[in-house]
Amino acid sequence: MDLWDMSAPSPEEIVETLKDLTAALESDRLAPGTLTVMIENYTELTGTPAEKPMEAFVKLASRKDQLVIGESESSTWSKAFTLAGPFKSGRNGLLLTPGDSDGETLMNTPLGRIRRKDFPPGRGFLVTAGRATKIHVALPG
C-alpha cells in the first residue's frame, strides 16, 4: 500500500481510508514513527460520519507511536470536543500566532502572558509533554 499518495477529501472517503490505515496499524505492519497523517480543517469533521472513526484512529496512531497532525483554526477546537480530546490529552503541538488562552484551552499547557504584537505570522510555541518553548517557523518567500 503506497500511503504517501493517499488522500480523502470527503468524510465518506475519510472513513474508507481510515479503515485501511487502521488495519495497517493493528497488524503491526508499520514500524513506530513511519506513518504521518495530516488532516486539514480537522475540526470540520465534527458531526460527520468521519468523526468517531477519526477519534479512534488518532488514539490508535498515538498508541502505535505514529504522527497525526490535526490542523484547524484555534477558535474551532473548543467546539470539537470528541475530536480535540486525543490532541489535548497528548499535550504536544504547535501553536502559531497564539491567543491568550490557546495553550490552556488546546493543550492544557499555560503559555503565560502573551502580547499579540510579539507573535507575528510564523512565531509561536512548540508544546512538548506540556512544556512550551517559543519558536519561529520560516514562512515561504
Residue 88 has a pLDDT of 81
Alpha carbons 58 and 40: distance in angstroms, whole number: 14
Averaged confidence pLDDT in the chain: 89
Q: Residue 75 — pLDDT band, cuts 50, 70, 90?
A: confident
C-alpha cell at 90: 497528548
Residue 4 has a pLDDT of 65
pTM of the model: 0.81
Domain ranges of the chain: 7-88, 91-136
Alpha carbons 13 and 7: distance in angstroms, whole number: 8
pLDDT tens-digit profile of 2-39?
556 778 999 999 999 999 999 999 999 889 999 989 99
What percentage of the chain carries pLDDT values higher than 70?
Answer: 97
Backbone angles phi, psi at 124, to 5 degrees: 180, -145
Question: Which stretches does DSSP call E strand in the chain?
Answer: 36-39, 67-70, 93-96, 123-128, 131-136
